[in-house]
Amino acid sequence: METDMSTAPLAGLKILSLAEQFPGPYATMLLSDMGAEVTMIERPGVGDPARQFPPLFRALNRGKRSVALDLKSADGLAQFRSLAQTADVIVEGFRPGKLAALGAGFEDMRSANPRLVYVSISGYGQDGPYRDRAGHDLSYEGVGGLLADQADAKQPGPVPPIPLADVGAALFAAIAILSAVVSSQRTGQGRYVDVSMSDAVVSMLTAFLAPAANGTPLGEFIAEPGYGVFTCKDGKLLTLSIAHEDWFWKPFCDVIDRADLAPLTGRDRVARKVALREEIAAILVGKTRAEWGDLLDKAGVPWGPVNSLVETLDDPHVRARQLLRKITHDGGKAETFIVQPLKFDGFETATPNLPPELGADNDSVFSDDAN
């Protein structure tokens, strides 16, 4: 797919990324898809630890450049500083204070480029009692309250399959970068932004934590009997998403031929949630998912298939939204990547380049920098 990258929303934006693993790479991947030039600064001979897990690394780092620099050496630090002079953004994901100790912190780089935006992504932020505590995604989910309903002392729940703290921090980091760049362009002065993964979880739970803080429970829309996952005749699963809306409940009752249930209010339904959910489950197992899908669509009732990852890749709506890009290697092997999901008027996300080998762009980057 040919795309004129000069029309990209972030064309001309230069980002240096020292961030590893998940949050920083995902944030910069999204921005790369929107036209930013992202150069990864990796440790010589080692690189991003995620390179040990090629599927993860390749998914998050296609479309970028790789420069191998030893920031612990005087030459490596000088080279990094020279790149910072013409960059718009630096993103890093080390423990608080580590880069400053090497001479590559915000104040060091700002002296080389006053308009530079510098974004630090860390587990618990740059201050606070947990600042120096080690952690991973699950640690931050626990602190932020995300796991509270999934486990108790007697029966700890399963590990969530999606690293939501990582994903949330990545999205907040992308917002931080864009916000600070706008500020820098307006004022000529760069900004330092502290992005905490545990903060990201707390913020994502705003709609739940604020009511808890104020002693006003959010309510029980998730307790609605028509809000959940159900099994169909063919063994496939579907979701019903009747949260609190009578205008969805009544047509649903028509679809399942239970007009006697239609007068029930949300409060009535929650009071009878166990019995009603059992009744709904017994009814839905009577038809295939495709049959229920047709009926629910015609009635305007919110539902959806529960796809496996493979089924998601083949879902007609996902394909129609053009979220998948296939790249063919020199040897003929095809590799599929997922691109950023935003649709811009006048710009179509391009098929990205393959992920770079470690240090693949040292020569070209420093040749460009010299010029």
pTM of this prediction? 0.92
Task: Specify burial of residue 97 (Cβ count, 10 A radius: 0-12, 13-18, 19+).
Answer: middle
Q: How far apart are CA 220 and CA 213, in angstroms?
A: 17
Task: Specify burial of residue 109 (Cβ count, 10 A radius: 0-12, 13-18, 19+).
Answer: buried
Q: State the 10-residue block means of pLDDT for the chain, 371 residues long.
A: 77 97 97 97 96 96 97 97 97 97 96 97 96 94 86 68 94 98 97 98 92 78 87 97 92 97 93 95 98 98 96 96 90 90 91 94 83 56
Report the pLDDT value the prediction gives residue 371, as an integer from 0 to 100: 56
Report the pLDDT value the prediction gives residue 28, as an integer from 0 to 100: 98
**In contact, 287 and 296? CB cutoff 8 Å:** no
Q: How far apart are CA 198 and CA 130, in angstroms?
A: 10
Eight-class DSSP state of 186: H
Alpha helices (runs of H) in 148-265, residue ranges in sequence order: 164-187, 197-204, 206-213, 246-255
**In contact, 230 and 238? CB cutoff 8 Å:** yes
Bridge-partner residues for 38, per DSSP? Answer: 15
Do β-strands 89-92 and 117-122 pair in parallel, antiparallel, or remain unpaired?
Answer: parallel
Q: Which domains does the chain have, with CATH numbers?
A: 5-207+344-370 (3.40.50.10540), 221-314 (3.30.1540.10)
